[in-house]
């Protein structure tokens, strides 16, 4: 029995030595890697904060771009409407100018009575036409 007891004690001693070595190794490894782990965790936290800031900036910029696009669409619609109004006003003015030119041609085509002064007769004809236009 004493040989069995010695063998058991030897196995127990070896197991205790292995356990002590493993514990000491774990403690030394923890002491060695703890600062590196803390640095890595800090970098992860900083990166997460930077990513959140980037996401916020991106969302803000996207909202700004959307607002500018909407303003651009409104400006394009206003420009189109202004161009259409200007074209309509131009056509209306051309129509009035043509009517005025035709009226002037009618006045100029009138015969001046014999012996009448040309300037005085023209002035009277234009005054008569102007009075008619104002009456309308």
Question: In this predicted structure, what is the pLDDT of residue 100?
Answer: 84
Residue-level pLDDT at 90: 96
Low-confidence ranges of the chain (pLDDT < 50): none
pLDDT at 128: 83
User: In the prediction, which pLDDT does 10 show?
Assistant: 87
Q: What is the pTM of this model?
A: 0.46
Give the dihedral sign, CA 17/22/25/30. Answer: negative
Residue 127 is predicted with a pLDDT of 85
Q: What is the pLDDT of residue 98?
A: 93
pLDDT for res 1: 54
């Amino acid at each position: 029995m004493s040989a069995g007891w010695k063998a058991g004690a030897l196995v127990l001693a070896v197991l205790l030595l292995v356990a002590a070595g493993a514990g000491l190794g774990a403690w030394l490894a923890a002491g060695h890697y703890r600062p590196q782990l803390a640095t890595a965790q800090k970098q992860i936290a900083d990166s997460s904060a930077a990513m959140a800031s980037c996401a916020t900036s991106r969302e803000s910029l996207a909202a700004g771009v959307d607002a500018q696009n909407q303003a651009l669409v409104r400006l394009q619609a206003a420009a189109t409407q202004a161009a259409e109004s200007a074209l309509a006003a131009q056509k209306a003015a051309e129509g009035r100018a043509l009517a005025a030119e035709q009226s002037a041609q009618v006045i100029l085509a009138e015969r001046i009575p014999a012996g009448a002064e040309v300037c005085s007769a023209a002035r009277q004809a234009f005054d008569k036409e102007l009075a008619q236009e104002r009456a309308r």
